[in-house]
């Protein structure tokens, strides 16, 4: 079996979170900033991950389509299990959605148990982004 070269290059997960009704440009600009600040190209991203309660959120869905990346979603309990690995846990986020972080936790959950955050959570007014390297 041969491995496709592109599969080797895609070794990062972009975690995204946002408030309901956030304009897609807010999320898009933050995602682009996350890539720029981390020095990671879009073609190195395997997927975008978030919390399942945002699976129909137009801003996240539209950004994934814009970047040409698949979306993966996790429930709050799965994201909460990532809390020990979060760089920026939030009691406010826990009170709202039932886990201590969305962007960091989703990126880590999707990237696996050996994953590391290469870009801890960054924020815009209404959204969050983080990037994890698949371990």
Return the CATH number at 89. Answer: 3.30.420.180
Q: Is residue 81 part of a domain?
A: yes
Q: Is residue 1 part of a domain?
A: no
23 closest CA partner among 56, 50, 58: 58
Question: What pTM does this model have?
Answer: 0.92
Q: Is residue 93 part of a domain?
A: yes
Q: Is residue 91 part of a domain?
A: yes
How far is the C-alpha of 110 from the C-alpha of 73, rounded, in Å? 9
86-106 residue pLDDT tens = 999 999 999 999 999 999 999
Query: Model confidence at 135, in pLDDT bands (50, 70, 90)?
Result: confident
Q: Is residue 67 part of a domain?
A: yes
Range of the domain at 37: 10-133
How far is the C-alpha of 113 from the C-alpha of 110, rounded, in Å? 9
Total domain count, the chain: 1
Tell me phi and psi for residue 133, to 5 degrees.
-95, 130
Q: Is residue 2 part of a domain?
A: no
**Mean pLDDT of the region 9-21:** 95
Query: Model confidence at 3, in pLDDT bands (50, 70, 90)?
Result: very low
Q: Is residue 4 part of a domain?
A: no
**Mean pLDDT of the region 116-120:** 98
């Amino acid at each position: 079996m041969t491995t496709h070269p592109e599969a080797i290059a895609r070794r990062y997960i972009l975690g995204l979170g946002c408030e309901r009704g956030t304009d897609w440009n807010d999320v898009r600009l933050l995602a682009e900033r996350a890539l720029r600040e981390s020095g990671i190209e879009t073609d190195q991203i395997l997927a975008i991950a978030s919390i399942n309660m945002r699976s129909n959120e137009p801003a996240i869905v539209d950004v994934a389509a814009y970047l040409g990346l698949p979306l993966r979603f996790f429930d709050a309990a799965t994201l909460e299990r990532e809390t020990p690995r979060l760089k920026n846990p939030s009691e406010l986020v826990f009170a709202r959605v039932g886990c201590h972080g969305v962007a960091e936790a989703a990126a880590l959950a999707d990237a696996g148990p050996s994953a590391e955050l290469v870009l801890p959570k960054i924020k815009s007014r209404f959204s969050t982004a983080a990037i994890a390297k698949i371990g």
